[in-house]
Structure 1
Amino acid sequence: MKHAPFIAVEGPIGAGKTTLASMLAEELQLPVIKEIVEENPFLDKFYQNMDDWSFQLEMFFLCNRYKQLEDTVIHYIDKGKPVISDYHIYKNLIFGERTLKGTKRDKYRQIYHVLTDDLPKPDIILYIKADLDTLLRRIAKRGRSFEEAIETAYLQQLIEDYDAAMASLAIREPSTTILTIDGNLIDFVENREHFMEIASRVKELMQ
């Protein structure tokens, strides 16, 4: 890789994106960009009534992530500095396509493309793939009150949506390298060897 890479960590709710991004940032001495989650004022309402609050929720996330990515471009990418993020902006479409319907979904798609089509895409995506039981255990362990209302059917659908999205990104963004991590078998938090294998692979991809 001839330039300083932009790295993103992705996966469904509970996969461990922020944890892995933070660990890699420390190991590789990289700045880390973390998405705003708990600050979203619509989260509690959304998990209680998705139909009524999905548009407000998704627009809040989209605008905040757009601003973060804009700042990332200014402070890191345009200056040739490597950076790691615990999300890919494309996740907004993954969630928006699942939670929005009809004209609201159409409007959201249009706004998403207006904001993001000319922004840089990650050079490397670390995709943490995990099944429903693994995600539920990790969600319970971190104990976010607003996540207690997540329906298992919604989470299972997100797992399938993420698999489809990563396959789509492999075609849409051929210059991006997608490294899939089996979150069911690889415990990068408790097993140092597992983590170092991931870090070593990322170092290789950065060269």
Structure 2
Amino acid sequence: MAEVPFIAIEGPIGIGKTSLAKKLSVHFDFHLLKEIVEENPFLGKFYDDIDEWSFQTEMFFLCNRFKQLEDIEKKYLNRQKAVVADYHISKNMIFAKRTLQEDKFDKYEQIYHILTKDMPVPNMMIYLHASLDTILKRIRMRGRDIEQNIKSSYLAQLAQDYEDYMNEFEVLHPNIPVIRINGDETDFVKQQNDLNRIINQVAYHLNGNAEVAK
């Protein structure tokens, strides 16, 4: 990979994106970019009443993610410093399409395209996916108060939305490798062998040949 590595990890809520990003950051000595989640003042209200609080919630995320990526581009990517992120800003459209009413979505989409037209696109994507049971279990395990009222139906639909999004991403960006990881069969937090397999996959795309994980 000739260009400076910019790896984005995506997948539904609670799937383990941040945990994996941290581990890859340490192993490859890449800068870690973490999305702002709990700092969103509207998120708790959003999970209680999606229709009422979706626009405020999505706009907060969009503006903060835009600022984060703008800083990352200036301070790291433009200086040939590799980055691994636990999200990419394109995920915003997944949530906006699902939660916003048509009139508000039209306004949101216009703002989104204005802000992101010059944003860097990751040159490697890692997609974590799992069954609804696994997602619910991991959300309970991490115990964020604001997530305890998330409806199972919302999570199930979100998981399908992510699947559709990643399938579309691969069509639109055929030259960007996508590493798919089944969370039902992989536990990179507790099982070092599982983590090593992911590291080897990442190293293969970075270097063109497999690296023996340490």
TM range (shorter): over 0.9
The answer to whether the aligner puts 1:157 opposite 2:163 as a matched pair is no
Q: Which residue identity does 2:56 align to in structure 1?
A: Q
- Residue equivalent to 2:211: none
- Residue equivalent to 1:92: 92
- Residue equivalent to 1:124: 124
Q: CA offset at residue 172 of structure 1?
A: 1.8
- Residue equivalent to 1:28: 28
- Residue equivalent to 1:37: 37
Find the residue that maps to 2:125 and give its secondary structure: strand
Q: Which residue identity does 1:200 align to in structure 2?
A: N
Question: Which structure 2 residues correspond to residues 1-207 of structure 1 after superposition, within 5 A?
Answer: 1-207=1-207
Q: TM-score, normalised by structure 2?
A: 0.95
Q: Which residue identity does 1:165 align to in structure 2?
A: Y
Quote the Cα distance in structure 2 between the aligned partners of 1:119 and 1:40.
22
Q: CA offset at residue 29 of structure 1?
A: 1.0
State the Cα RMSD in Å. 0.7
Q: Deviations over 1:147-187 (max 9, x none)?
A: 01000000000000000000111122223211100111011
Find the residue that maps to 1:90 and give its secondary structure: helix
Identity of aligned residues (%): 49
Q: Which residue identity does 1:159 align to in structure 2?
A: A
Quote the Cα distance in structure 1 between the aligned partners of 2:173 and 2:101.
26
Consecutive unaligned residues in structure 1, runs of 5 or more: none
Consecutive unaligned residues in structure 2, runs of 5 or more: 208-214
Find the residue that maps to 1:149 and give its secondary structure: coil
Quote the Cα distance in structure 2 between the aligned partners of 1:126 and 1:97.
22
Structure 2 contact 40–61 (Cα < 8 Å) conserved: yes
Find the residue that maps to 2:148 and give its secondary structure: helix
Quote the Cα distance in structure 2 between the aligned partners of 1:9 and 1:110.
25
Quote the Cα distance in structure 2 between the aligned partners of 1:201 and 1:44.
36
Quote the Cα distance in structure 2 between the aligned partners of 1:37 and 1:3.
29
Structure 2 contact 7–123 (Cα < 8 Å) conserved: yes
Count of matched residue pairs: 207
Structure 2 contact 21–86 (Cα < 8 Å) conserved: yes
73-82 or 139-148, larger mean C-alpha shift: 73-82
Q: Which consecutive segments of 4 or more residues in structure 1 shift more than 4 A?
A: none
Find the residue that maps to 1:103 and give its secondary structure: helix
Q: CA offset at residue 4 of structure 1?
A: 1.5
Quote the Cα distance in structure 2 between the aligned partners of 1:175 and 1:42.
37
Structure 2 contact 31–81 (Cα < 8 Å) conserved: no
Q: Which residue identity does 2:97 align to in structure 1?
A: E
Q: Deviations over 1:19-62 (max 9, x none)?
A: 00001101111110000000000011101110010000000000
Q: CA offset at residue 118 of structure 1?
A: 1.7
Quote the Cα distance in structure 2 between the aligned partners of 1:178 and 1:101.
31
